[in-house]
Structure 1
Amino acid sequence: MLNNLNEANKCIICKNARCQKNCPIDTPIPQIISLYKEGKFEEAGKILFENNPLSAICAVVCPHENQCSGNCIKGIKGEPVHFHDIEYEISTKYLENIKLQKPKQNGIKVAVVGSGPAGITVALNLATRGYDVTIFEKNEKIGGILTYGIPGFRLPKFNIKLLEKRLKELGVKIKINALIGPVVTLNKLFEDGYKSIFIGTGVWNPKRLNIKGETFGHVHYAIDYLKTPNRYDLGSKVVVIGAGNVAMDAARSAKYFGAKEVYIAYRRGVDDMTATKHEISEAKEEGVLFETFKSPVEIVDEGIILEDTKKVVNEDGSTSLVSIPDSKKLFECDSILIAISQVPKNTIVINNKGLDVKQGGLLLTNETGLTTREGVYACGDVTNGAKTVIQAVVDGKKVCDSMDKYLQQFIKSDN
């Protein structure tokens, strides 16, 4: 059944498709839509999966307004083709129905530390090439930010479970509750015979506001809250500080789990928010309220003190944000969620010599994804900061090629 046939029929199959050119992973959108209309689901699904193993995930979480849909020629004078709906239908069916065959093994062990988007991509790609891959995941479920950072009402988790099933079909071993760093070190992994290690541990340490009262009991960091939002008692009135996708997810989750009033407080305007327009729109539709040009000053028992801000134009034409004198006011609330970005947890760096970091504690790599330690590669948020899922997949594919090239020396020597 073609659930999105009307959507597919809107596509004019451009020869030089702007949608494809603006897709970070170069998804062959016109070809996929043509195959869909012909009912060739398996062929279309295979192309999508081999190009992007997280296609079913990206169809939900990608910022489509900046990529495929936002560059659709049909959108110039009307409604663009919502390719992501077609992609989701095809990719989900493909993940449900395929059974991957474990390839001939080359006997080379590879460790993948972290099972977020980058880790899953690297593990799948290396496993299809015959490597003996083991994933080390510090939590009890795989997925990283997909499982513990994006709410279930926004991203259905069954596709992550399907990916786990496909990983195991390829022979990938998954060690849950396995933290690499303090006890099991990189040295230990190499001693046990792993020839290369991939690090894709994401960014899980929240940034602080660095204002008074931040440690109070009614204050929580959004990235921590999103791991188990059903376990928190936030009360009826909640303020979220920040304006990225994590802030929107936290605000929507707070509403979903019972808060009557949820506010986003941001020191700039709506146009400056880093969250996608879709996420902002969804939050508004679900009743989240916005307090713009409000900067946090201090957290008190009764709530948070906010100060008004405004933009001023400088002599050179640039703009600056300034505080308005005597504008501090108490914003009463039951709980405060802080969502102003994240940085990596440096457990691996602290406990393993040879890994250099750059500004913000991000792992330092070269253009191939190689860290400053031989045989150890990294990509995704742990090297770039919090970016999109699709960017982690793109980087994961490139790093996989680099690791494969590096590992060839061991295959040749063993043979």
Structure 2
Amino acid sequence: MAIHIIDEANRCLNCKKPKCMEGCPVHTPVPHIIQLFKEHQVMDAGRELFENNPMSLICSIVCNHEMQCAGNCVLGKKGSPVHFSSIETYISDMYLDRMKVKTAEQKKQNVAVIGAGPARMTVAVILAQNGYQVTIFEQQDKIGGIKQYGIPEFRLPKTILSRYQKKLLELGIRIRPNTAIGTTLTIEDLLRDGYASVFVGTGVWKARNLGIPGECLANVHFGIDYLANPSAYSLGEKVAVIGMGNAAMDVARTALRNGAHQVTMYARGRRIAASSHEMAYAELDGAEFVFGKAIERITEKGPVFKTSIMDENNRVTGYEEGEEQTEADSTIIAISQGPRNRLIRTTVGLEGSDKGLLIVDENHMTTRKGIFAAGDVVTGSKTVVHAVEAAKKAAEAMMRYMEKEGA
């Protein structure tokens, strides 16, 4: 690995106007990091990466690099781009355990962070480093959110999240596991007990259904639920996956690793949301892809489709007559997720869009004063690095707000 990343680092042109940096949502200073690495200043490079993106190690593993840093590298126009993600993984992995935790002089304000996903962890780290007393309220028994319960082990080792938890505790961040805000405790209770501000980054955990007959059958499941605990399911040998996004690819690969002999993925058209890399890995693992099939209903035998009619631009323009019954022991629907709305229901003045997403202003403050939000609960399902990008802005806004209120 070391020889590979040294070779990759030596390929960097150190562009004056680095497109790789522009392509990264958090604008990671790629050429400068590579230069530090080449000068054997690995800890300095790790510190700069962490300060810019506390989730650097995780992003280096799960980001869609072909659409971001690697996809914007000038070398990729005529050949192979610099694979900065491999360099970043090496640096950030080494730095995480060796980093010296530093915090500013402690302030009196307490901050509540609801959830422990990528946006929440980023906000918690930034606020703790700036001296605020942070408590994370996590409804599950482990931190990580979608990284813990939605990304398979073979893509993101869970030991990394355990190492992150250790750092959170070293920063003085307190964690209350198995505590869902919006049930026994509410945001109103947090404000009553003196929290100066609240950050909401609860993600999108509610599976979207298709609204077709058969979704309640015993052999039908939702992708986000399956990924949370695959061992709880007995899928059988033949599995149909409805959808071809990145999450659907994770579902297919996980099913193949948990006893399924044949996994077939279906898409209504030919345009899919998954990255080409994720699709390639799913194909290597044995998943099969069928395009131009619109699901009509699901039976005990499996899904029933209509065949799509597409124009020269691969846009669906209609459907052929007749239906096709396919056979599958289980059908997993993996089309998208939406937010749960219990915080809106239990918090006066907290408003959401017609899709249930929290409404925020340019400072990431919600419609309730002192309550901030960022990440998937605001934008809908996006990547980890996009959640980090928004969380950084929200953390800065929260500090400005608390300084003003404190004064």
Tell me the TM-score normalised to structure 2 length. Answer: 0.97
Counterpart of 1:112 in structure 2 is 113
Counterpart of 1:221 in structure 2 is 222
Q: CA deviation at 1:174?
A: 0.4
SS of the counterpart of 1:90? helix
Counterpart of 1:38 in structure 2 is 39
Unmatched tracts of structure 1, length 5 or more? none
**Which amino acid letter does the alignment assign opposite residue 336 of structure 2?**
S
Counterpart of 2:122 in structure 1 is 121
SS of the counterpart of 1:360? coil
Q: CA deviation at 1:93?
A: 0.5
Quick check: 1:99–1:169 contact (8 Å CA) kept in 2?
Answer: no
Counterpart of 2:282 in structure 1 is 283
SS of the counterpart of 1:366? coil
Q: CA deviation at 1:312?
A: 3.0
Aligned ranges 1:199-214 → 2 under 5 Å: 199-214=200-215
Q: CA deviation at 1:182?
A: 2.0
1:136 aligns with 2:134: no
Identity of aligned residues (%): 45
1:386 aligns with 2:346: no
**Distance change (3 Å), C-alpha of 1:102 and 1:169:** farther
Quick check: 2:47–2:99 contact (8 Å CA) kept in 1?
Answer: no
**Which amino acid letter does the alignment assign opposite residue 120 of structure 2?**
G
Q: CA deviation at 1:298?
A: 1.1
1:302 aligns with 2:298: no
Counterpart of 1:63 in structure 2 is 64
Residues in 1 aligned to 2:102 and 2:351: alpha-carbon distance in whole angstroms: 38
Q: CA deviation at 1:319?
A: 4.1
**Which amino acid letter does the alignment assign opposite residue 294 of structure 1?**
K
Tell me the TM-score normalised to structure 1 length. Answer: 0.96
Counterpart of 1:19 in structure 2 is 20
Quick check: 2:55–2:388 contact (8 Å CA) kept in 1?
Answer: yes
Quick check: 1:106–1:411 contact (8 Å CA) kept in 2?
Answer: no
Q: CA deviation at 1:48?
A: 0.2
SS of the counterpart of 1:291? strand
Deviation per CA, 1:87-137: give whole Å up to 9, x if none: 000001100211313432111100000111100000000000100000000
Deviation per CA, 1:114-169: give whole Å up to 9, x if none: 11110000000000010000000000000100000000101112222222111111
**Which amino acid letter does the alignment assign opposite residue 139 of structure 1?**
Q
Give the paired residue count: 406
Residues in 1 aligned to 2:300 and 2:109: alpha-carbon distance in whole angstroms: 57
Quick check: 1:370–1:376 contact (8 Å CA) kept in 2?
Answer: yes
Q: CA deviation at 1:67?
A: 0.8
SS of the counterpart of 1:332? coil
Aligned CA-pair RMSD = 1.3
Unmatched tracts of structure 2, length 5 or more? none
Residues in 2 aligned to 1:391 and 1:324: alpha-carbon distance in whole angstroms: 39
Aligned ranges 1:184-199 → 2 under 5 Å: 184-199=185-200
Residues in 1 aligned to 2:255 and 2:370: alpha-carbon distance in whole angstroms: 43
Quick check: 1:101–1:169 contact (8 Å CA) kept in 2?
Answer: no
Quick check: 2:308–2:316 contact (8 Å CA) kept in 1?
Answer: no
Runs of 4+ in 1 over 6 A off after TM superposition: none
Quick check: 2:269–2:314 contact (8 Å CA) kept in 1?
Answer: no
1:374 aligns with 2:374: no
